């Protein structure tokens, strides 16, 4: 699909595809009219086969950007991997325009290799691997200026051609919004058995506003919401230990929103500059600051997620 798609395109799945008056002159008219566009995407079956040996597939979502989706995805994956050496965990970064996983997991300049069984992901630990478009870019300045269909193709490739091996958890980090990447991921994964979605938010209303939309999105595409994690909840001054709400929860915050939207609340994570710096430098918080209260909150959230996954 290109910018020369007619403005009133009835959609390729419509009964009028290729036959509506708006289709006249469209380069895809014959394809639509022949019914080929309606055929089932072969990618669905490929993804299903490729993810057969992945026990839990979890999407990490948030309508809002910058709330900590990538940070929490990385920390959760580390937490799951540290928890039990026999648990195999992987992270797939489908934020095509702004991939952050290579930095946060500390594998910034690694490269992805191709083998007979597909792309080999990059290993952070023996039982923690990651795949991101960041590994495929030549320079940190390279921008991926792609419209939706091209992003869709990339995501399909990530889901069907990465050789993960046997996995217990695959965490999928997404960009903000409710658009192409999210639709592609949910379409492919629903067919392959998606465990559900974890939603990340910060306490202020302007973030909750977008997060409610994301929960609505999950309902519209029938993805189970495993729960909501509140990030950047409180800031404790390292000087005088005063706690401040940096992002004031004017409307009752995340807990109230969870009650209103009838979704489980998984817990709060504080705002800790040390953790932020660790992630910026790609260091492992679990070895750098093992006694931090942040780790404790994170472990609680991890335990809850393991329990939810085991019972679903």
Partner 1 sequence: MLDTVKHIILILSGKGGVGKSTVSTQLALTLQENGFKVGLLDIDLCGPSVPYLLNLEDKDVHQCPEGWVPVYTDSDKKLAVMSIGFLLNSRNSAVVWRGPKKTAMVKQFLTDVCWGEIDYLIIDTPPGTSDEHITVMENLKAVKCDGAVIVTSPQEVAIEDVRKEITFCKKTGIPIIGIIENLSGFVCPTCAECTNIFSTGGGKALAEITKVPFLGTLPIDPKFGLLLGKACVKELPDSESAKSFNNIVKEIIAKTTV
Per CB under 8 A, 212 contacts partner 1: yes
Contact 298, 75 (CB under 8 A): yes
54-61 and 128-132 beta bridge pairing = unpaired
Per CB under 8 A, 245 contacts partner 1: yes
- Tokens (6 digits) for 284: 């492992």
Binding to partner 1 in span 109-128, by CB under 8 A: none
Q: Which of 66, 165, 193, 264 binds partner 1 (CB under 8 A)?
A: 66
Query: Counting Cβ atoms within 10 Å, is residue 242 exposed (0-12), middle (13-18) or buried (19+)?
Result: exposed
Q: Which of 70, 88, 174, 254 binds partner 1 (CB under 8 A)?
A: 70
Q: Which of 41, 205, 288, 303 binds partner 1 (CB under 8 A)?
A: 205
- Tokens (6 digits) for 194: 């998606």
Piece of 117-125, 268-276, 289-297, 301-309 that binds partner 1 (CB under 8 A):
268-276
Half-sphere exposure of 223 (CA within 13 A, CB side): 32
Nearest approach, Cβ of 283 to partner 1 (angstroms)?
12
Nearest approach, Cβ of 53 to partner 1 (angstroms)?
30
Q: Which of 38, 113, 250, 307 binds partner 1 (CB under 8 A)?
A: 250
Residue (63 or 196) nearer to partner 1, CB: 63
Nearest approach, Cβ of 197 to partner 1 (angstroms)?
13
Phi/psi of residue 229, nearest 5 degrees:
-110, 130
Per CB under 8 A, 156 contacts partner 1: no
* Core vs surface per residue 54-83: b (16+ CB within 10 A) or e: bbbbbbbbbbbeebbbbbbbbbbbbbbbbe
Q: For residue 4, give the nearest of 20, 21, 23 by alpha carbon.
A: 23
Per CB under 8 A, 248 contacts partner 1: yes
Binding to partner 1 in span 174-193, by CB under 8 A: 175-180, 182-183
Residue (54 or 96) nearer to partner 1, CB: 96
């Amino acid at each position: 699909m290109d910018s020369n798609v007619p403005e009133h395109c009835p959609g390729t799945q419509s009964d009028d595809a290729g036959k509506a008056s708006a289709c006249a002159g469209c380069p895809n008219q014959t394809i639509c009219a022949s019914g080929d566009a309606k055929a089932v995407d072969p990618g669905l079956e490929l993804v299903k086969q490729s993810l057969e040996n992945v026990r839990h597939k979890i999407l990490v979502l948030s309508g809002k950007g910058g709330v900590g989706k990538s940070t929490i995805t990385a920390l959760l994956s580390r937490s799951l991997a540290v928890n039990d050496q026999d648990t195999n965990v992987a992270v797939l970064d489908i934020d095509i325009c702004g991939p952050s996983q290579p930095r946060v997991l500390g594998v910034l300049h690694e490269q992805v290799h191709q083998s007979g069984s597909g792309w080999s992901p990059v290993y952070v630990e023996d039982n923690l691997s990651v795949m991101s478009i960041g590994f495929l870019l030549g320079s940190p300045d390279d921008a991926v200026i792609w419209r939706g269909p091209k992003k869709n193709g990339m995501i399909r490739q990530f889901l069907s051609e990465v050789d993960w091996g046997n996995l217990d958890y695959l965490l999928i980090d997404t960009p903000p919004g409710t658009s192409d990447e999210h639709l592609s991921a949910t379409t492919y994964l629903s067919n392959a058995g998606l465990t559900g979605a974890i939603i990340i938010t910060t306490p202020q209303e302007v973030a909750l506003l977008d997060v409610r939309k994301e929960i609505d999105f999950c309902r519209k595409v029938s993805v189970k919401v495993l729960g909501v994690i509140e990030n950047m909840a409180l800031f404790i001054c390292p000087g005088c230990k005063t706690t401040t709400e940096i992002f004031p929860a004017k409307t009752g915050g995340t807990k109230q929103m969870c009650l209103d939207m009838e979704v489980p609340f998984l817990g709060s994570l504080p705002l800790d500059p040390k953790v932020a710096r660790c992630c910026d430098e790609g260091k492992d918080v679990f070895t750098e600051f093992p006694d931090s209260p942040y780790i404790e909150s994170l472990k609680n959230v991890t335990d809850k997620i393991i329990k939810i996954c085991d019972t679903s």
